[in-house]
């Protein structure tokens, strides 16, 4: 197998593709977002339950390639228990990783998610890897508590 | 002793001349590039074909020696460009055996050709309650324009169902036809499955109820002999870039009796007779449908593409693709868990398949890593994918330069996929 694809289809990705974690709808979700990649027809539904500022639970269902499924599966593991701000920051760093725009330090902080770094060399697959993350980004925005009214600085 | 000088890539013998893809390949510079460090194996000709040197040179020559705007000025270059442009039209006419050269309208591609008919024919002839017959097999470009027309005119779309083999249900087709049917718009060859539809039967049945027939020939004209008179269709649409020609040029063949009664598609230069503040009289066919400056270079370079195919002979082209398709279908069965989608009796060089437990996109990426280019996706035919209960397929498509070695390389790469995914 060529180096680029070998780097991408590592055992951890294949494993999450075979047995995705946090699979199935979430009955008491506070946010439910549908992601769709019109280019390839892949579909994904993300369910998030917030407890105050925290991601208390998260799950997904969908139909897609190994990259998109594994990415969604590993994302749910990575964001469970995180605060909104932390989850949003992870989204930013993951996006930078798969588009090849992040620095080494931000990449390192992604831990196991670094397995997707090979996607940066396959521009046609960036959408697959980031489908679930974009759904998360949307869920965070949709369910954001009303911003506190501006306070008078004086 | 008589001697026959055969063109490149053709071996003369008894019966159908045989095409030698190895000789043909020498005419296609791009086939020498390496992809991801491997020999390029290009199996995506249904998306776009590669171009022979004569076509690439024609584009370059046109801009180097003949570039001017057509049908306008009296100067040398304008005259040269016009002569070349009009000569291409005659080349196309002969290729599809159209009765008249003015029945050949140049467009940007099949999509524009179909949109032209949907708009102009629709405006003139389609009223509320009228019916347009399409099928589940269609490429989106032969479906969406009709949906838009149906919305505008209050017309109704009727769908010919597709059988498990990927063939149209012709009995159901006949039952759909009625005096309300204004137009039948069907693909001549399916881009997603390769099914060759019985075009003449389709035309005959439609004409019995007084409906016009448009055939989407995007996947047929590159691969087989097309004679619009023996098909007896009213419109025939195809693209240059899928048949060795440049992108940016397509063709709409239309019967004079229809084209004459259809309003222009776009207004602009080159399509007028006289223009006053109050109104305009339109130019005769085909200029009426060719507003604005077209892609002249592409039209000019389309002629040597057709010439190349004619030298090989469309019969030899079709027979070569049948041979490659049979070989590929047989070898694909060696790969565990593969399923061919589309098993029609008459197929063009398209092999659409799925692999158990592996999404087509992952097949596409791993094959790409081995230098093998296939298409993975819904092939702009989502209703058809739903019909077969798959979100997408992997598709290998063949052409004049495809060799058995290319097929072998794909099979080897599919074994790699199997190893990765277990």
Considering the entire predicted model, what is its pTM?
0.93
Q: What is the pLDDT of residue B269?
A: 82
CB B19 within 8 A of CB B273: no
- With a cut of 70, list the residues of chain B below it in pLDDT: 1-16
Instruction: Give pLDDT tens digits for B136-156.
Output: 999 999 999 999 999 999 999
Q: What's the total number of domains in chain A?
A: 1
User: Is there a domain that residue A149 lies in?
Assistant: no
Q: What is the pLDDT of residue B3?
A: 40
How many other C-beta atoms can be found within 10 angstroms of the C-beta atom of residue A147? 6
| Whether pLDDT at A7 is above 50 | yes
| Whether pLDDT at A126 is above 70 | yes
Tell me, yes or no, if A104 comes closer than 8 A to chain B by beta carbon. no
| Whether pLDDT at A98 is above 70 | yes
Tell me, yes or no, if B37 comes closer than 8 A to chain A by beta carbon. yes
Q: Both B264 and B377 in a single domain?
A: no
Tell me, yes or no, if B416 comes closer than 8 A to chain A by beta carbon. yes
Q: What is the DSSP string of B128-190?
A: TT-EEEEETT--GGGTHHHHHHHHHHT-EEEEE-B-TTS-B-HHHHHHH--TTEEEEEEESB-
User: Is there a domain that residue B45 lies in?
Assistant: no
More confident site: B378 or A133: A133
Helix (H) or strand (E) segment spanning residue B343:
none
To test the contact with chain A by mutation, choose from B374, B385, B420 the residue with the greatest count of A C-beta atoms within 10 A, namely B420
Q: Both B346 and B217 in a single domain?
A: no
To test the contact with chain A by mutation, choose from B144, B358, B361, B366 the residue with the greatest count of A C-beta atoms within 10 A, namely B361
| Whether pLDDT at A153 is above 60 | no
User: What's the rounded mean pLDDT across residues A75-80?
Assistant: 97
Q: Both B133 and B250 in a single domain?
A: yes
User: Is there a domain that residue A2 lies in?
Assistant: no
Instruction: Give pLDDT tens digits for A24-68.
Output: 999 999 999 999 987 777 899 999 999 999 999 999 999 999 999
What's the Cα-to-Cα distance from B110 to each of B214, B252, B302, rounded to whole Å? 12, 8, 14
Q: What is the pLDDT of residue B59?
A: 98
User: Is there a domain that residue A152 lies in?
Assistant: no
Cα dihedral sign, A71-A72-A77-A80: positive
How many other C-beta atoms can be found within 10 angstroms of the C-beta atom of residue B275? 12
CATH of the domain at B230: 3.40.640.10
B382 contacts A41? CB cut-off 8 A: yes
Assign B323 to helix, strand or coil: helix
What token pair was written down for A103? 């620095």
CATH of the domain at A69: 3.90.1010.10
Backbone angles phi, psi at B15, to 5 degrees: 75, -145
User: What's the rounded mean pLDDT across residues A86-109?
Assistant: 93
B391 contacts A41? CB cut-off 8 A: yes
Q: Both B293 and B351 in a single domain?
A: no
Q: What is the pLDDT of residue B138?
A: 95
Give the nearest partner residue to A66 out of B359, B369, B376, using CB atoms: B359
Rounded to the nearest angstrom, the minimum Cα separation between A1 and chain B is 7
More confident site: A103 or B321: B321
More confident site: A107 or B53: B53
Q: Both B282 and B305 in a single domain?
A: yes
Domain with B255, as residue range(s), is 56-310
- What's the rounded Cα separation, in Å, for the pair B193 and B340? 9
Q: What is the pLDDT of residue B13?
A: 58
User: How wide is the angle at C-alpha B310 spanned by C-alphas B309 and B314, nearest 5°?
Assistant: 75
Q: What is the pLDDT of residue A5?
A: 79
Domain with A100, as residue range(s), is 19-142
Helix (H) or strand (E) segment spanning residue B200:
helix B199-208
Active-site residue set of B? 380
Cα dihedral sign, B409-B337-A68-A102: negative
Instruction: Give pLDDT tens digits for B38-55.
Output: 999 999 999 999 999 999
Chain A CA closest to residue B417: A1
């Amino acid at each position: 197998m060529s180096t680029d694809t070998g780097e991408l289809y590592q055992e951890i990705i294949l494993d999450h593709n075979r047995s995705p974690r946090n699979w199935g709808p979430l009955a008491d979700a506070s946010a439910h977002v549908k992601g769709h990649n019109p280019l390839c027809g892949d579909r994904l539904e993300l369910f998030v339950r917030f407890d105050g500022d925290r991601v208390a639970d998260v799950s997904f269902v969908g139909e897609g390639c190994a990259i998109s499924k594994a990415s969604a599966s590993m994302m749910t593991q990575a964001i469970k228990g995180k605060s909104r701000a932390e989850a949003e920051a992870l989204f930013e760093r993951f996006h930078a990783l798969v588009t090849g725009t992040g620095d080494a330090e931000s990449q390192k902080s992604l831990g196991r998610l670094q397995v997707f770094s090979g996607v940066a060399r396959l521009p046609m697959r960036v959408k697959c890897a980031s489908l679930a993350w974009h759904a998360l980004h949307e869920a965070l925005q949709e369910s954001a508590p009303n911003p506190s009214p501006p306070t008078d600085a004086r | 002793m008589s001697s026959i000088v055969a063109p490149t890539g053709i071996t003369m013998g008894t019966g159908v001349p045989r095409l030698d893809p190895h000789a043909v390949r020498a005419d296609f510079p791009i086939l020498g590039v390496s992809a991801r460090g491997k020999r390029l194996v290009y199996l995506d000709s249904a998306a776009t074909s590669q171009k022979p040197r004569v076509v690439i040179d024609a584009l370059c020559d046109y801009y180097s020696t003949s570039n001017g705007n057509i049908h306008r000025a009296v100067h040398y270059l304008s005259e040269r460009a016009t002569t070349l442009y009009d000569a291409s039209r005659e080349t196309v006419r002969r290729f599809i055996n159209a009765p008249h050269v003015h029945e050949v309208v140049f467009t940007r591609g099949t999509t524009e050709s179909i949109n032209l008919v949907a708009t102009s024919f629709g405006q003139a002839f389609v009223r509320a309650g009228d019916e347009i017959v399409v099928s589940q097999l269609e490429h989106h470009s032969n479906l969406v324009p009709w949906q838009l027309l149906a919305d505008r005119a209050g017309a109704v779309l009727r769908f010919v169902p597709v059988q498990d083999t990927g063939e149209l249900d012709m009995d159901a087709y006949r039952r759909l036809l009625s005096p309300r049917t204004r137009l039948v718009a069907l693909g001549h060859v399916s881009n997603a499955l390769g099914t060759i539809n019985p075009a003449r039967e389709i035309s005959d049945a439609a004409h019995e109820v007084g409906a016009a027939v448009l055939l989407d020939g995007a996947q047929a004209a590159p691969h087989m002999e097309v004679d619009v008179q023996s098909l007896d269709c009213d419109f025939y649409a195809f693209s240059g870039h899928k048949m060795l020609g440049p992108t940016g040029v397509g063709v709409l063949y239309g019967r004079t009796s229809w084209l004459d009664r259809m309003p222009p598609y776009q207004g602009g230069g080159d399509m007028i007779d006289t223009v006053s503040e109050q109104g305009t009289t339109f130019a005769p066919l085909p200029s009426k449908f060719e507003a604005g400056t077209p892609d002249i270079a592409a039209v000019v370079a389309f002629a040597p593409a057709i010439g190349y195919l004619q030298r090989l002979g469309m019969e030899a082209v079709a027979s070569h693709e049948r041979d490659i398709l049979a070989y590929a279908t047989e070898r694909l069965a060696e790969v565990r868990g593969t399923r061919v989608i589309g098993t029609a009796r008459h197929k063009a060089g398209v092999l659409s398949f799925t692999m158990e437990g592996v999404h087509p996109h992952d097949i596409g990426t791993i094959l790409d890593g081995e230098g093998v280019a296939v298409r993975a996706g819904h092939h702009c035919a989502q209703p058809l994918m739903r019909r077969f209960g798959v979100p997408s397929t992997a598709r290998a498509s063949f052409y004049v330069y495809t060799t058995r070695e290319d097929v072998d390389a794909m099979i080897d790469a599919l074994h790699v996929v199997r190893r990765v995914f277990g």
